[in-house]
Amino acid sequence: MSFLQPLLLIGLPLALLPLIIHLIHRHRHRTVEWAAMLFLIDARKMNKGMARLRQILILAMRVVAVAMLIFAASRPLSGGALSLAGGKAETIIILLDRSASMEQQILETGESKRLAALKKLSDLIEKTGKSSEVVLIDSATLEPLIVTSLIDLGAIPQTEATSTAADIPAMLQVAYDYLASNQSGRTDIWLASDQRESDWNPASKRWQSLRVDLAASNNVRLFLLNFPESSAANFSIQISNVQRLSNPQAFELMFDLKITRDADQVLGPVSVPVEFIVNGTRTVEEITLTDRETILLGHTIPLGNSDQRGWGRISLPADDNLLDNIAYLVFDDPAQRKTVIVSNDPSTSEAITAAAGAPVKIGADYNAVSFTEDSVAEIPWQETALLFWHAPIPSNSSIESSLLKQHVNSGRTLVLLPPEASNTSESLFGFSWNAWKEGDQSPLGIGWWRTESGLLANTRSGDPLPIGDLKLFKVRLFEGESQSLLTLETGESVISKLLFDQLSRPSGEIYAWGTLPRDGYSTLASDGVAFFVMLHRALDAGAFAASKARSRNASFGALSDAISVNPLSTSQEIQIEPDLGAGAYEVSPPRGDALLFALNRPYTEDSVKTVTSEGISSLLKGVDYRQISDELGSGSTLALEVWRAFLTAMALALIAEAILCIPPKPELEGSRILQTPVVGN
């Protein structure tokens, strides 16, 4: 229990005033010579039961009434359903989800979930935490910031809206590390989020260690300030696969466009005006949604003859979340699609070289080169968009390891192929190879493959890749946090995309293929369709990083390799780092010509799926935490002034005292006996 006027509690001994008055009243008695002591003694004997208890209760009620009055005057605070009991925290850590989904707002007031959370937390700190150290950890930067001015958390740049995603386990880990390194005493951690499953990442294995660490922290209490409500009618837009096509007559811009609406109930077809601004030219097109989402694959926009290079912005009308209404794109000459294979196996090298060198897109320059394990130093790293690593995983301290990390961190794609060597001790990016698995005289059965995204996603026309025709004879299993793209019947992954947390997420993508495109291992090379598509999709992803026009997810450090950043168009003003907001940027790299960057929010931010309370309780099992679910515009506060409750308690105490003071009904028969003299016989 906290108080806004704690000094008034000094007057709490005044609650004993009724008792003191009672004693004074008894002390100031008069003395009477009394004859009928017989009755008095009898009365005292009879008075030792309920009457005495009644008098004690009357006094207690009076004491309680005065105490309640003093408590009410001290302006007590309570968290309503939330109990703030337990004393003040020495440290308050605020974990703020600054992801794009937190910008869902009420249009009339402009109050978003993020602002609502900041307002409530500012109010809470002002009322209860003035003497506490306040540390802010936001989801975008994950940097602990000691807040010295407690006036308004919303005025701190680190609390501004971003188009990034959030990584809740990473935020908790940073908070725990901060506590461990600073040896903070009693600490309250306030986590404000919209409970999105994409941010909470319940499948992450980091929860296990976090759970253990937080449960072992006796002085830490975790408060989850959740805003799980979804919008009644919110539209969001995404673009992907942006390509500038070169026709003989003019340039043309092609991209995939996806419009999604959050409405819980599909209300039928709705027409949405979509605004396209490309190099300053504005067009509006009506797009009709018949279901929850509409995907326009290969949507084209004609460009002018001089529009060889440029940027574009595609936007929807304003709705509940302004940040998911805009998507940015940039375009330039396509980069060379160079594939490098590191392998000592000629069969594998040949299969990959043949597929990677075949041109797919008009105007693009396809090239594939193979190297042996001994000639890694000769690899042209700057030109390579896709690297097949068919060799043992190098040790972390080796040069090869550094080169591979640099390759991926620059946004290019790495495919790890299983080496024959049985060495499994080395790991890279948390990934390591396990044992080989072979079928008994027959191919290994294929379980399922991911069709909605990734290397094995369906084609633009919606047709699935012929993965079912694929035969796998020999597969090497692997370990590492990954998203399975193809699995065996027994559940083991064959092809996966490695996953990383926010802290160590590289710019590029890493895939692990558990089999080889050669005889005796699989029919990837002989039934070449699936292999060809997978390879070129991986190549496209890497080629974006190698091109002069690149698209990335907005995240801390997305533009860190730039010397200078010139915003061409942004949807929001980010004071600290431009890479946290969506927009189109012209970036000067350390070497070479200026690059165009389109930063957009991660697609996962458009998913409205939330973690359930049961899911959270499972994730935080054993941790001292409390959930506070709130809604936008609720007007509630985390720390309520509860003086009314104390005044009510005082009134109840006074009523109880009055009831106890009501004299008992006079006994009529007894009075008659007392008053009427009896005449004997």
Partner 1 sequence: MSDSIQRDFLDPAVLGRLMGLPLKSRHSMVGSVSGRHRSPVKGSALEFAQYRKYVPGDDTRRLDWRTWGRTDRYYIKEFEADTNLRLCFIVDTSGSMAFGEAAQTRLDYARRIAGSLAYIAAQQGDAVGLCSDSGGFDHEIPAKRGALHLGIVFDQLTKLKASGDSKLVTAIHQAAEKISQRALIVIISDLLFDPAPLREALQHLRFRKHDVALFHLLDQQEVDFDFDHPTRFVDMEGGASFLADPSLIERRYRDAVTNYFKEIDEIMNHSIIDYHRVLMNEPYEQALARFLMGRNPKTARSAR
Q: How many residues bind partner 1 (CB under 8 A)?
A: 35
Q: Is 668 in the site for partner 1 (CB under 8 A)?
A: no
x/- contact string, 609-648, with partner 1 (CB under 8 A)?
----------------------------------------
Nearest-Å Rg of the Cα atoms of the chain is: 36
Q: Which stretch binds partner 1 (CB under 8 A): 25-33, 243-251, 311-319, 332-340?
A: 25-33
Structure tokens at 156: 């701190």
Rounded CA gap, 365 and 287, in Å? Answer: 35
Nearest residue to 331 via CA among 310, 307, 314: 310
Among 52, 292, 460, 621, binds partner 1 (CB under 8 A): 52
Secondary element (H or E) of residue 543: helix 528-546
Binder among 29, 282, 442, 468 for partner 1 (CB under 8 A): 29
Stretch that binds partner 1, among 35-43, 62-70, 154-162, 617-625 (CB under 8 A): 35-43
Q: Phi/psi at 155 (nearest 5 deg)? A: -85, -5
- The C-alpha atoms of residue 499 and residue 496 are separated, in whole angstroms, by 9
Residue 46 within binding range of partner 1, rule CB under 8 A: yes
Minimum CB separation from partner 1 for residue 59, in Å? 11
Candidates 40, 155, 503, 658: give the one binding partner 1 (CB under 8 A). 40
Residue 591 in tokens: 């070497």
Give the residue, chosen from 268, 280, 664, 668, that forms a contact with partner 1 under the rule CB under 8 A. Answer: 664
Pairing of the two strands 549-553 and 564-570: unpaired
Nearer to partner 1, 51 or 651 (CB): 51
* Residues 257 and 232 sit within 8 Å (Cβ to Cβ): no
∠ at Cα 199 (197, 205), nearest 5°? 85
What values do phi and psi take at 661, rounded to 5? -85, -10
Q: Which two tokens stand for residue 274?
A: 């979509």
Q: Residue 85, interface with partner 1 (CB under 8 A)? A: no
Nearer to partner 1, 34 or 110 (CB): 34
Residue 50, interface with partner 1 (CB under 8 A)?
A: no
Nearer to partner 1, 44 or 591 (CB): 44
According to the binding rule CB under 8 A, does residue 25 interact with partner 1? yes
The two three-digit tokens of residue 346, written as one number: 């000629």
Query: Which one among 85, 377, 662, 674 touches partner 1, defined by CB under 8 A?
Result: 674
DSSP code, position 248:
S
- Cβ atoms of 487 and 497 closer than 8 Å: no
- In sequence order, what are the beta bridge partners of 189? 93, 222
In this structure, the number of other CB atoms found within 10 A of the CB of residue 308 comes to 13
Handedness of CA 462, 465, 467, 469 (dihedral sign): positive
Cβ count within 10 A of residue 647: 15
What element of type H or E holds 270? strand 270-278
Q: Which stretch binds partner 1 (CB under 8 A): 37-45, 72-80, 369-377, 519-527?
A: 37-45
Nearer to partner 1, 7 or 35 (CB): 35
> If binding is defined by CB under 8 A, does position 265 make contact with partner 1?
no
CB of 655 to partner 1, least distance (A): 20
Select from 455, 493, 499 the least CA-distant residue to 476: 493
Q: Does 55 bind partner 1 (CB under 8 A)?
A: yes
Least distance to partner 1, CB of residue 57, Å = 13
- 7 contacts partner 1 (rule: CB under 8 A): no
Q: Is 670 in the site for partner 1 (CB under 8 A)?
A: yes
CB of 665 to partner 1, least distance (A): 10
Q: Which is nearer to partner 1, 59 or 369 (CB)?
A: 59
Give burial (CB, 10 Å; 0-12/13-18/19+) of 256: middle
Q: Which two tokens stand for residue 259?
A: 């419009």
Give the contact letters, 224-243, x = binds to partner 1 (CB under 8 A), - = no. --------------------
Residues 6+ apart with CB under 8 A from 527: 466, 469, 470, 471
Among the candidate windows 33-41, 227-235, 308-316, 463-471, which touches partner 1 by CB under 8 A?
33-41
Residue 210 tokens, joined: 């976090």
Q: Which of 17, 21, 42, 399 binds partner 1 (CB under 8 A)?
A: 42
* Contact status: 662 vs partner 1 (CB under 8 A): no
Q: Is 667 in the site for partner 1 (CB under 8 A)?
A: yes
- Choice between 26 and 282, CB closer to partner 1: 26
Site residues for partner 1 per CB under 8 A: 25-26, 28-40, 42-44, 46-47, 51-52, 55, 663-664, 667, 670, 673-675, 677-681
